[in-house]
Amino acid sequence: MEAGVSAPTGDVLAVDELTIRFDGHGVDLVDRASFRLGRGETLCLVGESGCGKSITALAVMGLLASPPARITRGRALFQGEDLLSMPRKPLADLRGNRLAMIFQEPMTSLNPAFRIGDQIAEAVVRHHGVSQQEGRARALDVLRRVRIPAAEKRLDAYPHQLSGGMRQRVMIAMALVNRPDLLIADEPTTALDVTIQAQILALIAELQREAGMAMILVTHDLGVVAEVADRVAVMYAGRFVETGPVDAIFSDPQHPYALGLIGSLPSLGKREGRLATIAGSVPPPQRFPAGCRFATRCPFADERCAREVPPLVETSTPGHQVACFKAPLEIHVGGLAA
């Protein structure tokens, strides 16, 4: 597991200051999000509902409906080409080919009226101009790779004839059939039972190892993050509040929001009293504070936090950045609790 920032030359994706605003909202729902992703690397975007993690992913894929969404700033270089300014046609040629996405709910991406073999084959035929027969052969191959039992028979099945776990595998098969360089997965296992989730995550990891595919995984599940991430970006109300190698995020969390998230997880070990909680809930965008957006819920916030936006500052660990005036807490507020 390679920690730290990857060399710029090896970047599969480099996103700089991505800023997204929705018509009718006076604030940026994603505010200057920057990250890079090397070959084979997995970046997890973590945060709760409404933090902007999904719209960040959709923006990179060029799937954000505009209007109402408007990308007001930034670029997303995918192998040197800016996805954000790319015309529709070349972008459509990339998607489903070198760039693929899977969603939480497979039924939204699978067409209920077509057999799954034909749906997967279509992606091959469209992007590689092979024969229908060849497309079907590759579909069969990829269905076997995602361990669909009796794959030959399933080629002719319709999506509704499969279980949730099987559908999720079919969607992954469809995303992977053209061996993408970058996979964006938005909560791909959230709707699944834990035993099926474990199978799917192991499968994606295996395919990554083999093909060097980079992945952005959008999730709210810190257990999944610890398991698959190389690097993590914790998002709150549209901003990255802490980002770094996965070990740093879990062993040395610095932002009060990250601390609250980690402290609120029930442990699988012996019970240790009450769970830590974060007061209140995420404010609606029109009520985002002017300074640090976490200020209204942060037990350490003062006037400066309410007024000024804290920049992301590197900690002692390379690649680990925190946007908090009070970090590290033991130095800035440690005296208070004594």
Partner 1 sequence: MNAPAGSDVILSAQGLVKHFGGGRQLFAGRAPLIRAVDGVSFEVRRGETFAIVGESGCGKSTLARLILRLIEPTAGTVRFDGADITAIGEEDMRRLRREMQMIFQDPFSSLNPRMTVGALIAEPLAVHGLASGRERAERVADILRKVGLPPEHAERYPHEFSGGQRQRIGIARALATGPRLVIGDEPVSALDVSIRAQVINLLEDLKAELGLTLILVAHDLAVIRHTSDRIAVMYLGEIVELAERDALFEAPLHPYTRSLIAAIPVPVPGARGARQLLEGDPPSPAAPPPGCRFHTRCPHAEAVCKSERPTLRTLGPGHTVACHLAERLPPSPPSVVTAPASTAKRRRLELFAGARSDSVSVTS
Residues that bind partner 1 (CB under 8 A): 1, 48-49, 149, 163-166, 193-199, 201-202, 220-227, 229, 246-247, 250-254, 256, 259-271, 274-282, 299-300, 328-330, 333-334, 336-337
Give least dist CB 18 to partner 1, A: 23
Give least dist CB 25 to partner 1, A: 18
Give least dist CB 232 to partner 1, A: 9
> Is 18 or 216 the residue whose CB approaches partner 1 more closely?
216
> Is 12 or 301 the residue whose CB approaches partner 1 more closely?
301
Residues in the chain, overall count: 338
Query: CA-CA distances (angstroms) from residue 143 to 151, 163, 189, 243?
Result: 6, 15, 18, 35
45 near 53, Cβ under 8 Å? yes
How far apart are alpha carbons 265 and 63 in whole angstroms? 33
> Is 52 or 256 the residue whose CB approaches partner 1 more closely?
256
Backbone angles phi, psi at 71, to 5 degrees: -90, 110
Give least dist CB 148 to partner 1, A: 10
Q: CA dihedral defined by 184, 204, 125, 112, rounded to 10 degrees?
A: -80
Give least dist CB 189 to partner 1, A: 9
Q: Report which residue type is found at 42.
A: T
How far apart are alpha carbons 234 and 244 in whole angstroms? 9
> Is 100 or 322 the residue whose CB approaches partner 1 more closely?
322
> Is 118 or 221 the residue whose CB approaches partner 1 more closely?
221
How far apart are alpha carbons 245 and 317 in whole angstroms? 9
What single DSSP character describes residue 112? Answer: T
> Is 299 or 311 the residue whose CB approaches partner 1 more closely?
299
Specify the pairing of strand 81-82 against strand 214-219: unpaired
Which residues are 95's β-sheet partners?
A: 99
Helix axes 132-145, 164-176, angle to 10 degrees: 130
Give least dist CB 313 to partner 1, A: 16
> Is 89 or 271 the residue whose CB approaches partner 1 more closely?
271
Give least dist CB 46 to partner 1, A: 9
How far apart are alpha carbons 326 and 255 in whole angstroms? 8
> Is 78 or 288 the residue whose CB approaches partner 1 more closely?
288
> Is 38 or 256 the residue whose CB approaches partner 1 more closely?
256
Give least dist CB 188 to partner 1, A: 13
138 near 126, Cβ under 8 Å? no
Give least dist CB 183 to partner 1, A: 19
Distance of CA 153 to the CA centre of its chain: 33
Helical H segments across the chain, by residue range: 53-61, 88-94, 116-128, 132-145, 151-154, 164-176, 194-211, 222-228, 246-251, 256-263, 303-307, 329-332, 334-337
